[in-house]
């Protein structure tokens, strides 16, 4: 993983969790070949670990195969919520939680 290829390492992305793709706004260019071209995805793997789906892959320079960053995305269902996380030097860090119910109990107004 290369800090010289990104504007900011692990930027805070709020609740934007990417299962695939690249956050190109944070891509400075390849520190190895000094080109700013497409970022490819390689070594993509999906693992199901006790109900948690883990997707990992490398962001790689199109021209010289330099590894820019390692991307990790997780998805799980905890109680009545879908939980998402992302951690990547290029794409950033983020977490999100969405209710599986039609109406999210956290969004309803208290009765008393």
In a domain, 87, yes or no: yes
Q: What is the pLDDT along the chain (112 residues), one digit of tens a residue?
A: 788 999 999 999 999 998 899 999 999 999 999 999 999 999 999 999 888 999 999 999 999 999 999 999 999 998 888 999 999 999 999 999 888 776 666 666 565 5
Tell me which residue range forms the domain holding 38: 3-99
Sheet holding 92-99, edge to edge: 39-49, 52-61, 67-78, 81-88, 92-99
In a domain, 35, yes or no: yes
d(CA 49, CA 27): 31
Judge contact between 61 and 42, C-beta under 8 A: no
Q: CATH code at 69?
A: 2.60.40.4240
Judge contact between 1 and 31, C-beta under 8 A: no
In a domain, 105, yes or no: no
In a domain, 108, yes or no: no
d(CA 4, CA 55): 24
In a domain, 21, yes or no: yes
Tokens representing 90 are: 């290029």
């Amino acid at each position: 993983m290369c800090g010289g290829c990104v504007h900011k390492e692990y930027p805070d992305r709020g609740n934007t969790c990417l299962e695939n793709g690249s956050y190109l706004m944070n891509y400075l260019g390849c520190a190895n070949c000094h080109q700013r071209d497409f970022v490819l995805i390689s070594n993509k793997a999906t693992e199901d670990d006790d109900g948690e789906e883990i997707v990992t892959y490398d962001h790689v320079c199109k021209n010289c195969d330099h590894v820019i960053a390692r991307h990790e995305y997780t998805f799980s269902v905890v109680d009545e919520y879908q939980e998402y996380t992302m951690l990547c030097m290029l794409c950033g860090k983020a977490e999100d939680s969405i209710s599986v119910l039609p109406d999210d109990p956290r969004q309803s107004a208290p009765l008393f």
